[in-house]
Amino acid sequence: MDLAQLMEACNQYAKPAGFRPAYGTAGFRAEASLLHSTVFRCGLLMAARALKTGAATGLVVTASHNPVTDNGVKLVEPTGYMLDQSWEAWADKLADAEDAEALCAIIRDLYQKEDIPYGSGVVMLAHDTRPSAEELIKAAGSGVKALGGLPIVCGLLTTPQLHWMVRHCNNSLKHTESCYYEEIATGFSHLVHSCKAKRQVLTVDCANGVGAEKLKALAERLSGKLDVTLRSTGEGGLNDGCGADYVQKERRFPAGMEDCQNGARCASLDGDADRLVYFQRLPGGQLQLLDGDRIAVLAALLIRDILDRLSHDAASPSVGIVQTAYANGASSQYIREQLRLETAVTATGVKHLHAAAERFDIGIYFEANGHGTVLFRPALIERLHKLGDSQEAAKDLLALLGMVNQAVGDALSGILLVEAALRRRQWGLNDWAQLYTDLPSRQLKVKVKDRSVVTTADAETRAVTPEGLQSRINESVRGAPSGRAFVRPSGTEDVVRVYAEAQTQQAADKLAQQVARHVH
Ligand code: 16G
Ligand code: ZN
Residue pair 312/387 in contact by the 8 Å Cβ criterion: yes
Q: Which residues surround ligand 2, an ion (CB under 5 A)?
A: 64, 270, 272, 274
Q: Which of 33, 37, 64, 413 is catalytic?
A: 64
CATH number at residue 512: 3.30.310.50
Q: Whose CA is nearest to atom 11 of ligand 1?
A: 349
pLDDT of 208 above 90: yes
Whether a cis peptide bond, with omega within 30° of 0, leads into 283 is no
Q: How far does the centroid of ligand 1 lie from the alpha carbon of residue 166, in Å?
A: 21
Selection from 117, 94, 126 nearest residue 6 by Cα: 94
Note down the domain range covering 65: 3-156
What does the buried/exposed string (b/e) look like for 46-84 if buried means 16 or more CB atoms within 10 Å of the residue's CB?
A: bbbbbbbeebbbbbbbbbbbbebebbbbbbbbbbbbbbe
170 marked among binding-site residues: no
CATH number at residue 29: 3.40.120.10
Predicted complex: ipTM over 0.95: yes
| pTM for the model | 0.96
CA dist., res. 358 & res. 354, Å (int):
6
Report pLDDT digits (tens) over 20-78. 999 988 999 999 999 999 999 999 999 999 999 999 999 999 999 999 999 999 999 99
* Torsion, CA 392, CA 395, CA 396, CA 397, rounded to 10: 130
Same domain, yes or no: 149 and 262: no
Report pLDDT digits (tens) over 128-175. 999 999 999 999 999 999 999 999 999 999 999 999 999 999 999 999
* Confidence (pLDDT) at 32: 97
* Confidence (pLDDT) at 304: 96
pLDDT band at residue 224 under the 50/70/90 scheme: confident
Same domain, yes or no: 326 and 453: no
Same domain, yes or no: 11 and 54: yes
Same domain, yes or no: 504 and 397: no
371 CA: nearest ligand 1 atom: 11
Same domain, yes or no: 84 and 192: no
Residue 315 is assigned to a structural domain of this protein: yes
Q: Which residues line ligand 1 (CB under 6 A)?
A: 25-26, 64, 348-350, 367, 369, 371, 490-493, 497
Min mean pLDDT across 6-10, 433-437, 506-510 is at 6-10
Residue 274 is assigned to a structural domain of this protein: yes
Residue 54 is assigned to a structural domain of this protein: yes
**Gyration radius of the chain over CA positions:** 23
316 is catalytic: no
Same domain, yes or no: 397 and 414: yes
